[in-house]
Amino acid sequence: MKKKPRRAVLPLIAVHRESARPLHRQIYDSFRAMILERRLQPGQQIPSSRTLAEELGISRIPVLSAYGQLLAEGYVESRAGAGTFITASLPDEFVSAAAPLAESQASRPMVTEDEPWFRGSGAFSVGQLAYDHFPFRAWSDLVTRHARRVRTSSMNYSDAMGLKAFREVIADYLRTARAVQCEASQIMIVNGSQHALSLSAHVLLERESAVWIEEPGYEFLRAALTLSGCRMIPVPVDSEGLDVTAGIALGANARAAYVTPSHQYPLGVTMSAARRLQLLEWAQKSGAWIVEDDYDSEYRYESMPIASLQGLDRGSRVIYIGTFSKTLFPSLRLGYMVIPAGLVDRFAAVRKATDLCPPHLYQAALADFMHEGHFARHIRKTRLLYAGRRSALVEALRNEFGGEIEILGAAAGMHLVVTLPPGFSDREIALRAAEEGLRLWPLSTSYAGAEVRQGFILGFGSTKAEEMAAQVRRLRLAIHGVGGHQKRSFRSFGRV
């Protein structure tokens, strides 16, 4: 039912030019706060960017930037010809339409296959970065500096949570860049995000605990959870992210929900503000935990990085996970988690029991790398680089396939998804393509349930923009090479 928009009143927003916070951020923060505190009601219209800019006596650019961000995060919605409105479904009136999937079996096999998309590198490999753009001189100088510094404290066992100086610089970064609420004492350094997923399962779950996972979702999360003996409940993901209403219908008493709200893996959806609040509300009411895997949110191309779900949490229900595998390089095996204060001791105890503490050298070097600004510079530089690679891939896919395929999740990260029409087997095509040196990760591997979509998760991190068109032509040949029948059915099929 469409509501008639109310007239837009000017919200009470003050901006300060002399503030360290940029204008667009001040505007964004003000709106977000008013929406969350219900001072702006669902369905309420907000002023046009032009009106607000005039009222505030500032240029229109920061207002457009703030509105774009609010739109991307789902706090506001745009209605053609009518204006911009606080999202109507925010937060309780939301009704899900998606059909729930059957529960998965508790003991699904772990990822043990040695299939080609796991191996080596090549065009479209997922998780591959532009290693040649890494500032290795600055990095190796720091590593060398710390390798030469011989002190008992740097050679000895350390705190299970990690090196203090490193945790402090990460806390600063997360508060500033990701709107995460944290103190250094809540941060645990881990051996990459997979380690964090595994540790969280140890602490939060017991055998037979019900756990929401995203469907489709991250294959290796299922592997980590399988070890705990928990019961996974695949909850469908739609265009707003995990369908919380469906989750409640499938298992309201779940112990935890594992989500990727900034850039859903693999589909690339950003979880809407409505869903975020609904998820937090459910967790708060039912005493459940939310594990937010924020694996690649540094790279966002169509709006500013999305604020973390953790930053919205007022009930300390969120465990936040981040990694340096996407921003620096994976063989560092360094990531971090932000743990609610009340759980820190339990996480530290499990860490001691499983591998005592993280290694020293990389922590010390990376603390300096961040402190001296190399990290922020590298992110800025590579964000432009990956944006160019992404655009080149999207353009090449459009040129080569037209409307034949659907492209999903290209707004962030270093991969996107293309879906295939029915009748195609993504595994078959991927096996064939591997012989040609293309590493296509079949989308179907991301599904825990029986209803799967066929397609590919295409990494674009390690492929130069100018090579993209040629690689996409190879992709097209690989797809069309798989039998005449499939070729015909593909040709005749439009966009799904």
**Minimal distance in Å, beta carbon 198 to its own copies?**
4
Task: For residues 273 and 74, give the distance between their C-alpha atoms in angstroms, rounded to a whole number.
Answer: 5
Among 91, 116, 162, 192, contact with its own copies (rule: CB under 8 A): 192
Question: Cβ distance 72 to 302 under 8 Å?
Answer: yes
Residue 8 vs 379, nearer CB to its own copies: 379
Among 4, 7, 148, 485, contact with its own copies (rule: CB under 8 A): 148
Site for its own copies contains 115 (CB under 8 A): no
Residue 47 vs 116, nearer CB to its own copies: 116
Helix (H, G, I), strand (E, B) or coil at 154: helix
DSSP-assigned letters across all residues of 263-274:
S-TTT-PPPPHH
User: Residue 188 has what DSSP assignment?
Assistant: E
**Minimal distance in Å, beta carbon 488 to its own copies?**
38
Q: In the window 325-384, what residues touch its own copies (CB under 8 A)?
A: 325, 329-334, 345, 348-350, 352-362
Task: For residues 10 and 53, give the distance between their C-alpha atoms in angstroms, rounded to a whole number.
Answer: 11
Instruction: Show the CA angle centred on residue 246, arms to residues 414 and 111, nearest 5°.
Output: 45
Residue 143 vs 475, nearer CB to its own copies: 143
Question: Cβ distance 127 to 463 under 8 Å?
Answer: no
Residue 41 vs 354, nearer CB to its own copies: 354
**Minimal distance in Å, beta carbon 371 to its own copies?**
18
For the beta carbon of residue 199, count every other beta carbon within 10 angstroms: 24
Helices 361-371, 136-147: crossing angle, 10 deg rounding: 130
Instruction: Show the CA angle centred on residue 406, arms to residues 404 and 409, nearest 5°.
Output: 160
**Minimal distance in Å, beta carbon 145 to its own copies?**
9
**Minimal distance in Å, beta carbon 46 to its own copies?**
45
For the beta carbon of residue 480, count every other beta carbon within 10 angstroms: 14
Question: Cβ distance 368 to 208 under 8 Å?
Answer: no
Place of tokens 């989500």: 259
Place of tokens 């009704």: 95
Single-letter amino acid code for the residue at 327: T
Among 4, 80, 97, 157, contact with its own copies (rule: CB under 8 A): 157
Residue 190 vs 416, nearer CB to its own copies: 190
Among 107, 140, 176, 492, contact with its own copies (rule: CB under 8 A): 140
Task: For residues 350 and 68, give the distance between their C-alpha atoms in angstroms, rounded to a whole number.
Answer: 42
Q: How far apart are the first and last CA of the chain?
A: 27
**Minimal distance in Å, beta carbon 104 to its own copies?**
16
Task: For residues 165 and 174, give the distance between their C-alpha atoms in angstroms, rounded to a whole number.
Answer: 14
**Minimal distance in Å, beta carbon 141 to its own copies?**
9
Interface size with its own copies, residues (CB under 8 A)? 61
Window of 90-98, 148-156, 396-404, 449-457 that interacts with its own copies by CB under 8 A: 148-156
For the beta carbon of residue 104, count every other beta carbon within 10 angstroms: 18
Q: In the window 423-482, what residues touch its own copies (CB under 8 A)?
A: 462
Residue 104 vs 245, nearer CB to its own copies: 104
**Minimal distance in Å, beta carbon 296 to its own copies?**
15
Task: For residues 174 and 186, give the distance between their C-alpha atoms in angstroms, rounded to a whole number.
Answer: 12
Question: Cα dist. 51→86, 391, 403 in Å?
Answer: 17, 33, 38
Q: Give the distance between the most distant pair of CA atoms in the chain.
A: 70
Among 84, 87, 89, 128, contact with its own copies (rule: CB under 8 A): 128
**Minimal distance in Å, beta carbon 23 to its own copies?**
38
**Minimal distance in Å, beta carbon 291 to its own copies?**
15
Window of 42-50, 106-114, 314-322, 479-487 that interacts with its own copies by CB under 8 A: 106-114
User: Would you say how long the chain is, in residues?
Assistant: 496
Q: Please, which residues bridge with residue 257 across strands?
A: 212, 290
Window of 5-13, 82-90, 97-105, 129-137 that interacts with its own copies by CB under 8 A: 129-137
Q: In the window 197-256, what residues touch its own copies (CB under 8 A)?
A: 198, 202, 207, 220, 223-224, 226-227, 229
Residue 297 vs 462, nearer CB to its own copies: 462
Among 32, 167, 195, 326, contact with its own copies (rule: CB under 8 A): 195
Residue 243 vs 368, nearer CB to its own copies: 368
Q: Any alpha helices (H) in 235-360, and if so which ranges?
A: 244-251, 273-286, 344-355
Name the site residues for its own copies (rule: CB under 8 A): 110-112, 121, 127-129, 131-132, 134, 136, 139-140, 143-144, 147-148, 150, 152, 154-158, 190-192, 194-195, 198, 202, 207, 220, 223-224, 226-227, 229, 325, 329-334, 345, 348-350, 352-362, 462
